[in-house]
Amino acid sequence: MTTTRPLSLMDASFFVMETAVTPLHMGGASIFRLPEDAGKDYVRRLYERWSGFPVNRAPFSFRLAQGLLSTVRPQWEVLDSVDISQHLFRVAVPHPGGNRDLEELIARLHGRQLDRGRPLWEIYLIEGLSDHRFAMYTKIHHSLADGATAVRLFGDQFTGDPKDRSTRPVWTQRRAAGRRSPPSAEPPRSLLQDFPLTPTAARAFMGRAYRGAGKAMTLVTDLKEAPISADAPDSIFNLPITARREVGQAVFDFARVKGLSRAIGCTINDIALTVCGGALRRYLQGIDALPGQSLVCAVPIALNKEGNAEGGNAVTAAPVAIGTNVADVRERFAAVRDSMRDVKAQMAKISPDSIALATAIFQLPVVVEQVTGRWPLPRRLMNVILSNVPGPRERLYMGGAEFLGSIPLPMILRGMGLNITITSLVDRIWFSYTSCPDIAPHIDRLGPLITESFDELERVMTRPQRRASARRAERRRPRARAN
């Protein structure tokens, strides 16, 4: 008998919001250097080898259940068999493919909606890149995984051993064979299963309801401390988007970014928000579209730092003003840092249950806008999305191929048409963005502007330290004796 498991309210909301124009999947392109002994057919052989592995790992074997029951209460159907040819593909860019060729290809792939009649994920092995490289583009529906979960799931394909060629694909179980269904699979549930049909069950139900009411009052009290943004202005990123996507990047040495954070006593998140605020100020000024108020950024925060073992979402979002209305970089940095500290202090005061409830409440107007096309509140809560997903600090390999870095392609929404994701690997850090070129003209300029903004922050914020160091060096220098 087919097993099922219900979706959480948050996971189910992604299906309510999704349209052909706003497909709600996450994506990412991992870039690899071919092994030194690899032949020209390395990617073909990898494709053929992976095609032989069964799809038997959660959540890759989950398909949205059909029928009335799933309409009332959306559920995953856990499949015993999945046709891998509908999920694993081999494509190429014209040789010799550069980074821009890869970005254009994955932007097109990212704009296509996943088929709900199958498990909601796809993997593309991409050949034809220059410099002895290939790429792997993956996409997975946001109802199956949040960012932290996706990183953990797909990270299982990597190893620290460059000689290990036994890489297993992500959709195959990492446990001994013998069990037919994932440990998370649940038996089919009845719509009446939780309804009190007997006096004993009724008393138990009322007891739970009473306790639940008391807990709800506590949550409402806690929500007074939940972080609420200042008014977010209307901006081009809040216009209705189309299905077109544009992606780009700015890349830095990790030691340089980490060194700046130590020099000025802040987190990498503080630097990222300040840099993005400066870059977006320059970009919007360049197209005469800079609002008088600061843009407000939604910063996703994982509630489960390890990710969920078998999919789903455990994440909230904190609103942070990123100082696009502030010309002076020092003042912008101070405003961003103080805003982030206030958000963290507020979140520390409230319980995890309250955070989850606040997330659901704040998500409701976003859902309404995706469904109706109209923002239901008198003011906007957020303009853009910015997330930081730290990567591994050691060199990794897949089938003997060295992992060089990645290009994240997160989802964008109606009303939030720009998503910036910061990722890191060993000695480099990437600022990657996804947007819709039909609402954000010349958005390809954003990558160079992020570099300009970081250079400015580094130059201005470390200037006093450099002067102090020069003065200390001058005091230590021996003075010449007078004759």
Predicted confidence at residue 185, as pLDDT, reads 33
Residue ranges in the chain whose pLDDT is less than 70: 1-2, 68-72, 175-230, 301-317, 350, 352-362, 464-483
| CA distances in angstroms from 475 to 298, 464, 469, 480, listed in the order given | 48, 17, 10, 13
> Is the Cβ–Cβ distance between 30 and 156 less than 8 Å?
no
pTM (2 d.p.): 0.76
Q: Residues 6 or more apart from 414 whose CB is under 8 A from it? A: 21, 22, 240, 241, 369, 370, 373
Predicted confidence at residue 313, as pLDDT, reads 44
Rounded Cα distance, 52 and 29, in Å: 23
What residue ranges of the chain are covered by domains with CATH 3.30.559.10?
A: 3-155
What residue ranges of the chain are covered by domains with CATH 3.30.559.30?
A: 222-393+410-469
**Is the peptide bond preceding residue 378 cis, with omega within 30 degrees of 0?**
no
Q: What is the mean pLDDT of the chain?
A: 81
Residue 139 — φ and ψ, nearest 5°?
-140, 140
Predicted confidence at residue 478, as pLDDT, reads 57
Q: Residues 6 or more apart from 335 whose CB is under 8 A from it? A: 294, 321, 323, 326
Q: Which CATH architecture is the domain 222-393+410-469 placed in?
A: 2-Layer Sandwich (3.30)
Contacts of range 458-465, beta carbons closer than 8 Å, 24 or more positions apart: 458/256, 458/260, 460/329, 460/330, 461/260, 461/263, 461/264, 461/329, 461/330, 461/333, 462/260, 462/263, 462/264, 465/263
Predicted confidence at residue 320, as pLDDT, reads 87
Q: Which CATH architecture is the domain 3-155 placed in?
A: 2-Layer Sandwich (3.30)
